[in-house]
């Protein structure tokens, strides 16, 4: 009886996988993308051009990257590619480097990052979050969300200072042996800043962005454009605590970028639980 049940369950899982594969790889291109290109050819050409520009910014470009971008979990990034391309133009002469060193940022941005990192170190966030995060594979807590301070379970007064460029301040916790899948961010109005708060014991905790691999044991700070394909790993036997920050990208028009981020906050505030559906988000 148990063997029959197991076979039935395995058969259902296999059928679901096949249906997902057929829907994503065959039905979606044929039933959605092809008709859209037929009825709206000019818009389709615009999206083709912006999408090609957008996805080819990824280094170590592979067929799987193209598939993931156009018909996988990067599809929403493709939908926003004309808007993101406009943000790239508004950022000139600051060319998007993809992956940044701290010294690549303008002095005012750099100073604000240094101030934030010192505030995080002084707050001893690992000790604050250790008990709350230990029961979940992935935990996220936000102290600031797209420019607005958040109600939180622990007050960190150093984060309440006026930030000119920093929009989001959070901490992501990966428990031991936890990693993400490959994924794209969707908006290029900001840069993602990650800073590992605890000391890692080996090289099994790292982040991959294209052909760049950064090991948290060697370098605690990592700055990048998160609309590039990326993946985070923690294959160690210890939890990984990482400061999770979004900062307005360098631009002659920071107020425009700030307004874009504010608009995203309004649009996503009620549905951010969907974006972080694989996380345990600590609200208070």
Which strand ranges, in their side-by-side order, compose the sheet holding 212-215? 178-179, 230-234, 205-209, 212-215
- Check whether 169 has a pLDDT greater than 70: yes
Mean pLDDT, residues 83-101 taken together: 96
- Residue 60 pLDDT class (50, 70, 90 cuts): confident
Alpha carbon distance 238, 33 (integer Å):
44
The answer to whether 67 and 229 have CB atoms below 8 angstroms apart is no
Reply yes or no on domain 99-282 having CATH 2.60.120.330. Answer: yes
Alpha carbon distance 42, 24 (integer Å):
24
What is the predicted pLDDT for the residue at 197? Answer: 94
Which H/E stretch holds residue 246? strand 240-248
Alpha carbon distance 182, 68 (integer Å):
9
What is the predicted pLDDT for the residue at 123? Answer: 86
What is the predicted pLDDT for the residue at 223? Answer: 98
Residues paired with residue 169 on neighbouring β-strands, in sequence order: 144, 245
Mean pLDDT, residues 63-67 taken together: 94
Nearest to 152 by CA among 134, 132, 126: 132
- Residue 272 pLDDT class (50, 70, 90 cuts): low
Q: Tell me the pTM.
A: 0.89
- Check whether 11 has a pLDDT greater than 70: no
The answer to whether 186 and 80 have CB atoms below 8 angstroms apart is yes
- Residue 8 pLDDT class (50, 70, 90 cuts): low
What is the predicted pLDDT for the residue at 284? Answer: 59
Q: Which two tokens stand for residue 142?
A: 């936000």
- Check whether 173 has a pLDDT greater than 60: yes
What is the predicted pLDDT for the residue at 188? Answer: 95
Q: Which two tokens stand for residue 23?
A: 């829907």
Task: Find where tokens 């002659």 sit.
Answer: 252
pLDDT digits (tens, 9 = 90+) for 106-156: 999 999 999 999 999 888 888 888 887 878 889 888 888 888 887 666 677
What is the predicted pLDDT for the residue at 199? Answer: 92
Domain ranges of the chain: 2-91, 99-282
Weakest mean pLDDT among 6-20, 137-151, 223-237, 259-273: 6-20
DSSP letter (8 states) at residue 183? B
């Amino acid at each position: 009886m148990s063997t029959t049940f197991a076979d039935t369950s395995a058969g259902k899982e296999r059928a679901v996988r096949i249906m997902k594969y057929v829907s994503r790889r065959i039905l979606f291109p044929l039933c959605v993308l092809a008709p859209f290109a037929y009825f709206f050819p000019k818009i389709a050409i615009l999206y083709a051009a912006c999408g090609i520009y957008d996805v080819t910014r990824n280094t170590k470009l592979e067929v799987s990257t193209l598939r993931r971008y156009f018909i996988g979990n990067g599809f929403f990034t493709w939908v926003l590619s004309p808007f993101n391309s406009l943000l790239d133009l508004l950022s000139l002469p600051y060319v998007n480097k993809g992956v940044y060193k701290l010294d690549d940022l303008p002095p005012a941005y750099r100073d604000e990052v240094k101030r934030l990192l010192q505030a995080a170190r002084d707050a001893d966030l690992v000790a604050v979050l250790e008990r709350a995060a230990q029961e979940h594979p992935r935990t996220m807590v936000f102290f600031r969300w797209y420019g607005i301070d958040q109600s939180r379970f622990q007050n960190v007064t150093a984060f309440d200072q006026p930030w000119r460029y920093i929009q989001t301040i959070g901490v992501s916790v990966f428990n031991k042996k936890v990693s993400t899948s490959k994924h794209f961010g969707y908006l290029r109005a900001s840069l993602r800043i990650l800073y590992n708060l605890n000391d890692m014991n080996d090289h099994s905790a790292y982040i991959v962005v294209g052909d760049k691999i950064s090991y948290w044991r060697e370098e605690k700070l990592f700055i990048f454009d998160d609309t590039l394909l990326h993946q985070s790993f923690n294959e160690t036997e210890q939890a990984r605590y990482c400061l999770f920050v979004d900062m307005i990208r360098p631009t002659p028009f920071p107020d425009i970028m700030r307004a874009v981020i504010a608009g995203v906050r309004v649009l996503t505030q009620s549905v951010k639980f969907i974006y972080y559906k694989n996380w345990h988000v600590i609200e208070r």
